[in-house]
Chain A
């Protein structure tokens, strides 16, 4: 299994009127070819910001930490150090779209209202593939067909507001895939869709990923979705990854109290009669980050004097997994 992307110590800060805030701190994760990493967390946990940093899409007020490393192995085998690329370089333009494709939460807003979807797909194709206008158009129709849009030859000349929500998201997937990326970043792609459509779109994405052999980062706040699509999972809380590991293992036996809380808050068929257990409290804002473990303000198992003072280090409870919590000792065994 070859490594596609490895991110180390990703730290992102924003300059604001009230001083510098740091919504992402020391985040480390990796994506392999053909595998899906699920990024889970509540809104405000820094998932979207992290992936935007991968494509250097952050606003000008943002800055990366000094020891941030984002290494990406391009299709031609070259290793790109994303954090060193300049915003307007040819490399970054090739990376955007050509190497990494991105799908957003709001398919309606992802399309410009004044151009047809065809215009925007063809734009993506011609930026990254040596094709004439006519070839690109034929390719775009194929692509729309592939993502399950019927009558693609006619749809290509329609505007986003003329399509249904599910169709729009399919079209957005077509835009993202048409340039042939090796890594697909999907930022809550199904959140804004109806439940039945959600399942269809998820199936479509999984099928396409297998067919094209892409790596994928799938952002969601829904652990249930992770179980369906992800191979690996990283749980984020307030800008840090609190737990990561193979998706099955993490969901079957969560180690971090936050992951446990997320799972307990998830409805399932065999616990229908029971009340769900929400995690108490709210996620603090990034400019009022608690000291010590960021989760200690909401944690039922916190150790006073430790959790609220010192930031927990990452320990390895079993091979392939990692957790940041004072409930586990250096060797990853639970502290009684």
Chain B
């Protein structure tokens, strides 16, 4: 197990290194660079005309004239060694300040969504497999199709509409007005929790649709396994039998896809954030993209992706712990 963990740990670090390079390349793609945008922003409207030489001076000043690889190491070195993500030009402050506590808000949304997803999909998937062909099973299949087909922003809009009608207008966003810019406090956390369910439901929707099908399929497979018949043949009571044998194995694919679920949630986050008026990383990412503030965008993309890579690592370890066959094969 130790060797397995170390191997996966190394794999995780390698992937993170490659991811960071990829993110850096994406940051470099938009035409023009930080110096151009900085100069444009600083001097536009002031009447001062900016020459190419001025821009070049800023560029040299910021070290942007160096080769890309060096700038990459500069950037990633700052992040890894000092936790410094650089300057956010559109916000005229450091990226760290812009991101601030949004990381925690985002993790709040993420974990609320994950927990909701698994709480719903595992029991229902198991139930559907045991009751194969029943009306409930059929209904769930239809729901799954719809869950995968409904664009999340549309779902968000519809949910918001009903939430507004039933719970009053102060349901969008993550905080109600008095707490929006207040410092962290217990009432503020409570307020956030009261708002969290809506984005969690919207984001969990498609994941639930997907995972119910996964659990159902695995569970159906497992139910027909000889080991289940063998256990039944030695007199194991039905309820305990279901939980101990097939259900126990039906959870494995869920564990192995935690990373994918996180990926899907982060992927949908910016879009859902627009509709629900969330103030977290997804919304900030979208704003940064629209402003072409690539330092902020890159930092967020990196944080989100690192989180996914880390969750992948966790799921590998968890899976190896759950399924003794994996260590043997690894």
Contact = CB atoms under 8 A, between A and B. Distances in A.
Interface stretch (B41-49, B54-62, B225-233, B309-317): B225-233
Given A104-B230, A110-B230, A127 B325 contact: no
B26 interface: no
Contacts of A29: none
Given A93-B237, A127-B236, A114 B230 contact: no
B227 A112 contact: yes
Given A93-B235, A101-B234, A176-B234, A114 B226 contact: no
Contacts of B248: 112, 114
Given A114-B324, A161-B328, A102 B235 contact: no
A120 B323 contact: no
Interface string A81-101: 000000110000111111011
Contact of A128 (B235, B245, B324, B328): B235
A111 interface: yes
B231 A55 contact: no
Contacts of A57: 229, 232-233
A113 interface: yes
Given A104-B226, A109-B225, A109-B226, A114 B323 contact: yes
A113 B324 contact: yes
A57 B235 CA distance: 11
Contact of A124 (B234, B322, B323): B234
A55 B226 contact: no
A124 B225 contact: no
Given A57-B229, A161-B325, A112 B235 contact: no
A115 B230 CA distance: 13
Given A97-B235, A127-B235, A110 B226 contact: yes
A183 B236 CA distance: 18
A179 B234 CA distance: 8
B245 to A, nearest CB: 5
A123 interface: yes
A314 interface: no
A175 interface: yes
Interface residues of B, number: 23
Nearest to B322: A114
A309 B236 CA distance: 46
A96 B232 contact: yes
A127 B237 CA distance: 9
Contacts of B249: 112-114
Contacts of A106: 226
B181 interface: no
Contact of B233 (A55, A94, A109, A159): A55
Contacts of B233: 55, 57, 96-97, 100-102
Main secondary structure of the interface of B (DSSP, over half): helix
Contacts of A175: 230, 234
B234 A113 contact: no
B236 to A, nearest CB: 7
Contacts of A176: 234
Nearest to B224: A59
A88 B230 contact: no
Given A102-B230, A159-B324, A112 B245 contact: yes
Interface in B212-242: 225-238
A110 B226 CA distance: 5
Contact of A98 (B231, B235, B323): B235
A178 to B, nearest CB: 9
A101 to B, nearest CB: 7
Interface in A101-137: 101-102, 104, 106, 109-115, 120, 123-124, 127-128
Given A109-B226, A114-B248, A114-B324, A120 B235 contact: no
Interface in B189-231: 225-231
Most interface-central of B226, B248, B325, B328 (chain A CB within 10 A):
B226
Shortest 4 CB-CB distances between A and B: which pairs? A97-B235, A97-B234, A109-B226, A96-B235
Given A112-B228, A112-B249, A113-B325, 20 more contacts: A87-B238, A93-B235, A93-B236, A94-B235, A96-B232, A96-B234, A96-B235, A100-B233, A101-B233, A106-B226, A109-B227, A110-B230, A112-B225, A112-B245, A114-B249, A120-B231, A123-B236, A124-B234, A161-B324, A179-B235
29 contacts: A57-B229, A57-B232, A93-B235, A94-B235, A96-B232, A96-B234, A96-B235, A98-B235, A100-B233, A101-B234, A102-B233, A104-B229, A104-B230, A109-B225, A109-B227, A110-B226, A111-B227, A111-B230, A112-B227, A113-B249, A114-B324, A115-B244, A123-B231, A123-B234, A124-B234, A161-B325, A172-B230, A175-B230, A175-B234
